[in-house]
Amino acid sequence: MKTVLKFGGASIQDAERIRNVRGIVQSYQEKEPILVVSALGKTTNDLEEILKQWYQQNPIWKTSLNQLLAIHLNIATALSSNASHALQALFGELESFLSNENRSKTFDQYYDHIIAYGELASTTLLAIYFQESGLACEWVDARKIIRTDNHFRDVNIDWKETEHLAKERFHTNKLYLTQGFIGATANGETTTLGREGSDYTASILSYCLEAKEMIIWKDVAGVMNADPKLVPEASVLSKISYREAVEMTYFGAKVIHPKTIKPLQNKHIPLLVKCFLDPSLEGTIISEATPQTPYPPIIVWKDQQVLLSIQDKDFSFIAEKHLTSIFNLFNQHRVHIHLMQNSAISFSVCVDANPRVSDLIKDLSHQFDVVRNEGMRLLTIRHYDESTIAKHLAGNEVLVEQRSRSTIQLVTRKK
Ligand code: ASP
């Protein structure tokens, strides 16, 4: 049975960390590992910047691309690796694509095509370095396995085809190394699974191959009950249920991509979150079992939220027929709702601030008056108590509040 190991950008940001990852991988060699790897360090952000420059026809994109290549080459040199040729070829391919492209496709299509080079480059470098240092592994192009539809940047997976392709490709007990985050349509066009999507790739492969376990390697000791940058007394949760993990990540806990849990839960595959800086730490285990001790309060802040208040233009009650047309528009524009609440004549929703919201508002405005409040933060506390709420709300004004027995959610802004 396979073990799927996922390494994010921070775990491979420089030569020393790549050596460390190699050591971890070696210690899992008996466990039929499949490695799912992100782009190096902040490469994805750099590529987004290059794409923006290119799209705006700013010739600086070439310099930026060369700087990014230099970062990769420096790491290869520090590893005494001969990966330079392969990296130069890959970046050369991207440069000639951008130089010759007639810009007939959508921005999102270009996004997926270009941003995918981050993961292609990191895995090329790692595979060559592993081979050279005596760790035999096979590089696999994830675009030949992860089959998606063509909702570029926010794809849906073709599970049947992906399962078929994965079973066919990963059929031996060798060490395989592939890219997180990227896939392709049936026509072979590159797609991406959304930012931070490598966790999801690892979970898709775990599902398709019925892995024994999946391990995400992070720079923190495990899943914590709050972001330690915001809450210094945050502590590691040694065991949590799939349900708890889904609730936390859906509302913004950044430790795991929210889509990661479902495929694992469906096949009862445990997920471990471990620290690549100290693999001897136990980390967090996420599985079916609910821990025996009660959960502490779990605090999740989600930044850059927008609160929309939607009202019929003629002061009608917000009735089912309104909600149907409102939800249809949210679905069409692929704007995901994090919290909703209605009064007699108004319907309020909290969503991520992203460019699609403006188009949505334009469409909603044919029938409704829409008030848009920017700069909101959504605070979710699971297993709350009054003192925890008071402590975390200090200095914030509450615009919307919603409570169930286990969860409180508050749309807030700084006073
Ligand atoms: N490299 C991609 C990102 O930074 C995907 C990932 O790391 O999970 O969003």
Final residue before a domain boundary, out of 193, 218, 243: 218
What's the whole-number mean pLDDT along residues 45-58? Answer: 97
Is there a single domain that holds both residue 346 and residue 210? Answer: no
Task: Tell me whether residue 233 is in a domain.
Answer: no
> How much distance in Å is there from the Cα of 390 to the middle of ligand 1?
35
Is there a single domain that holds both residue 187 and residue 318? Answer: no
pLDDT confidence of residue 322: 86
Is there a single domain that holds both residue 29 and residue 145? Answer: yes
Residue identifier of the C-alpha nearest atom 2 of ligand 1: 196
CATH number for 181: 3.40.1160.10
Average pLDDT of the residues of the chain = 95
Is there a single domain that holds both residue 213 and residue 302? Answer: no
Task: Tell me whether residue 281 is in a domain.
Answer: no
Residue to probe by mutation, ligand 1, list 6, 196, 204, most atoms within 8 Å of CB = 196
Residues in contact with ligand 1 (CB, 6 Å cut-off): 8-9, 38-39, 44, 118, 180-181, 195-198
pLDDT band at 311 (very low <50, low <70, confident <90, very high): very high
Is there a single domain that holds both residue 191 and residue 314? Answer: no
pLDDT confidence of residue 343: 86
> How much distance in Å is there from the Cα of 189 to the middle of ligand 1?
19
pLDDT confidence of residue 216: 98
Q: Does residue 252 have a pLDDT over 90? A: no
> How much distance in Å is there from the Cα of 135 to the middle of ligand 1?
25
Is there a single domain that holds both residue 203 and residue 313? Answer: no
CATH number for 385: 3.30.2130.10
Q: Does residue 317 have a pLDDT over 90? A: no
Is there a single domain that holds both residue 339 and residue 199? Answer: no
Is there a single domain that holds both residue 24 and residue 170? Answer: yes
pLDDT confidence of residue 380: 96
> How much distance in Å is there from the Cα of 229 to the middle of ligand 1?
20
Task: Tell me whether residue 223 is in a domain.
Answer: no
Is there a single domain that holds both residue 28 and residue 152? Answer: yes
pLDDT confidence of residue 339: 94
Task: Tell me whether residue 207 is in a domain.
Answer: yes
195 CA closest ligand 1 atom index: 9
> How much distance in Å is there from the Cα of 201 to the middle of ligand 1?
11
User: 149 lies in which domain range?
Assistant: 3-218
Is there a single domain that holds both residue 165 and residue 312? Answer: no
> How much distance in Å is there from the Cα of 160 to the middle of ligand 1?
24
Q: Does residue 32 have a pLDDT over 90? A: yes
Residue to probe by mutation, ligand 1, list 51, 153, 181, most atoms within 8 Å of CB = 181
Residue to probe by mutation, ligand 1, list 191, 195, 249, 254, most atoms within 8 Å of CB = 195
> How much distance in Å is there from the Cα of 182 to the middle of ligand 1?
9
Asked if 339 contacts 349 with a C-beta cutoff of 8 angstroms, the reply is yes
Final residue before a domain boundary, out of 196, 218, 240: 218
pLDDT tens digits for range 168-219: 999 999 999 999 999 999 999 999 999 999 999 999 999 999 999 999 999 9
Task: Tell me whether residue 146 is in a domain.
Answer: yes
Task: Tell me whether residue 231 is in a domain.
Answer: no
Count of domains observed in the chain = 2
193 CA closest ligand 1 atom index: 5
Is there a single domain that holds both residue 98 and residue 190? Answer: yes
Task: Tell me whether residue 117 is in a domain.
Answer: yes
Task: Tell me whether residue 263 is in a domain.
Answer: no
Is there a single domain that holds both residue 60 and residue 190? Answer: yes
Q: Does residue 315 have a pLDDT over 90? A: no
Residue identifier of the C-alpha nearest atom 8 of ligand 1: 196
pLDDT band at 13 (very low <50, low <70, confident <90, very high): very high
What's the whole-number mean pLDDT along residues 249-270? Answer: 92
Final residue before a domain boundary, out of 218, 243, 260: 218
